[in-house]
Structure 1
Amino acid sequence: MTSISLTAAVTIAEHAVAFGVEHGYDPLTVAVLDPGGHPVVLHRQDGSGILRPDIATAKAWGVLGLGVPNREIARRAAAAPAFFTSVAVLAQGRILDVPGGVFVRAESATLLGAVGVTGAATSAEDELAAIAGIRAAGLVPETGAPST
């Protein structure tokens, strides 16, 4: 299975945090997972809350676990909240239905892993930081939004 390299994962995390600093975001936490949902990098900015590593990981793990971007997870959760609650229990809480979890793909569209970012004032800002980090590594973000 093709997977994201440690070098690319570190680049993603560092650039996502730099993007947050540049835009005045609160401290960010970034989780980069391989396609099997295993951590490659967990980067917690000074001042991040103690739950942030779990939140970032859940954002990334959820997109890998369900095979759809967080935006689609949110849509499905809104349409069928009882089903989403059951899925979240099955996933042992490792899934969230808000933006900030983004697929990482190679130019060839090969899935390399996923990134989860948390800590900004909004999940949309978390997602922007993830996108910036992925692009800085020369890889392709997939959020489910028309622009990515």
Structure 2
Amino acid sequence: MTISLRKARTIIRKTFEKGREMELKPLSIVVLDAGGNVQAFEREDGAAPGRFEIAFGKAYGTVMLGIPGSAQMARAESQGYFMTCVNGAYGGNVIPVPGGILMRDRKGAVVGAIGVTGDTSDNDAIAGVVGVEAAGLVAES
């Protein structure tokens, strides 16, 4: 299954709504398909211009490794050499922190990942999970 543009837009919209409800700083969100390709990206008014690269790095590491940002961070803390090598292999595009959320369909197949950035990484992840689940997908954060 691939992630449709309609679902990607739902994820972004619902993540923004949760961010506003939580009174988070302006968020930026990227949705990647299962191959690591950008399906959609939006940033709220007031978000820093460099947030695309951060959101992309969170999502890209998640989809390429098949594990969420929180698991990547734990791996970086326990095996920094491994994550350094992974980041080198992926052209420096991996940001191993919460806010990278793996998306699965109801059967368990990976359909992509999102990267959320703008507030604390933990808050980014909370908002992103709401967006993914609103699109009828299973979120791993």
**Do they superpose with TM above 0.5?**
yes
State the distance in 1 between where 2:81 and 2:121 align: 22
Unmatched 5+ stretches in structure 2: none
Q: Which residue of 2 aligns with 1:132?
A: 130
Q: Which residue of 1 aligns with 2:96?
A: 97
Q: Which residue of 1 aligns with 2:111?
A: 112
Q: Which residue of 2 aligns with 1:12?
A: 11
Aligned to 1:103, the other structure's residue is in SS state strand
User: Aligned runs of 1:66-81 on 2, under 5 Å?
Assistant: 66-81=65-80
Percentage identity across paired residues of the two chains: 39
Aligned to 2:24, the other structure's residue is in SS state coil
Q: CA deviation at 1:16?
A: 0.4
RMSD: 1.0
Unmatched 5+ stretches in structure 1: 144-148
Instruction: State the TM-score, normalized to the length of structure 2.
Output: 0.95
Aligned to 1:56, the other structure's residue is in SS state helix
Structure 1 runs of 4+ off > 4 angstroms?
Answer: none
Q: Which residue of 2 aligns with 1:28?
A: 27
State the distance in 1 between where 2:87 and 2:109 align: 27
State the distance in 2 between where 1:56 and 1:106 align: 21
Instruction: State the TM-score, normalized to the length of structure 1.
Output: 0.91
